[in-house]
Structure 1
Amino acid sequence: MNKIDIHALRQIGWDRWDPIGIRQLGNSAWRSGAADEYDSYLLHAANMILHGAALDTVAAYLDGIISSDLALGPVEDAVHRASLHTAEAISAYVQANRASS
């Protein structure tokens, strides 16, 4: 597998997950100030997938980040769906990256 491209993971995170809503600021200035906000979480999720974790497990990890680490309270259905879509997108990225190596 090629090295994980953090920029690809960031795009997935910002497009599908963004639990604290930084993207909603309405301009691109957030990209320079907060681009790395979710890096450690997304890298961990990618590594979970690389090591065979199920998508539900990865989504539960992301939900845990939201409720515990970010202290945003209980995860609602729409938020869980965003976590699951994020896990699916990361999995697709990992699989595509494996195929190209």
Structure 2
Amino acid sequence: MAPLTPPPKIKLSRLRDIGWSIWDPIALLSAGQSWDDEDCRGFADEYDRYLIYAAGQLRRGAPDAEVVSYLVQIEAEHMGIGERSDTRERAQSVVAAIRADDELWTYPDR
């Protein structure tokens, strides 16, 4: 029996770049700020669990629409913000950016 290949690991900094630049539902960053600025490090992980879940679902083959709906639900219901005019568009952009990023996942040597 061949040994199991370890699952790929996500590059969290790249995922944060996507999430913070496109999504940021509670608008924690000011214009021109980055999640890794020194004064933002206290909340840099704010969206990690949602983005990691979304990226994992996409990697496992979930349809884009399902992951978009998940992000919309997180923002609108879980965070209690409600669905704004750009909520779905931002969620779609996050999904597209995750799909397009060829360097988001690292695969261990086989």
Question: Could you tell me the TM-score, scaled by structure 2's length?
Answer: 0.77
**Structure 1 gap segments, 5+ residues each:** none
1:38 maps to which of 24, 33, 47? 47
**Structure 2 gap segments, 5+ residues each:** 1-6
Residues in 2 aligned to 1:97 and 1:9: alpha-carbon distance in whole angstroms: 10
RMSD over aligned Cα atoms: 2.2
Q: Is the 8 A contact 1:17 1:86 kept in 2?
A: yes
Residues in 2 aligned to 1:70 and 1:87: alpha-carbon distance in whole angstroms: 19
Give secondary structure in 1 for the equivalent of 2:9.
coil
> How far off its partner does 1:77 sit?
3.3
> How far off its partner does 1:58 sit?
0.9
List structure 1 runs of 4+ shifted beyond 3 angstroms.
25-28, 97-101
Q: Is the 8 A contact 1:49 1:91 kept in 2?
A: yes
Q: Which amino acid aligns with 2:81?
A: L
Question: Could you tell me the TM-score, scaled by structure 1's length?
Answer: 0.84
Q: Which moved more, 1:13-22 or 1:64-73?
A: 64-73
For residues 51-96 of structure 1, give each alpha carbon's deviation from its aligned partner in whole angstroms, at most 9, with x where no partner exists. Answer: 11111111110000001211112x1331210010001111112xx1
1:12 maps to which of 18, 27, 30? 18
- Match status 1:90 vs 2:104: no
1:50 maps to which of 48, 55, 59? 59
Aligned match of 2:75: 66
Q: Is the 8 A contact 2:50 2:71 kept in 1?
A: yes
Aligned residues between the structures: 97
Residues in 2 aligned to 1:36 and 1:98: alpha-carbon distance in whole angstroms: 17
Aligned match of 1:79: 87
Residues in 2 aligned to 1:44 and 1:11: alpha-carbon distance in whole angstroms: 16
Q: Which has the larger radius of gyration?
A: 2
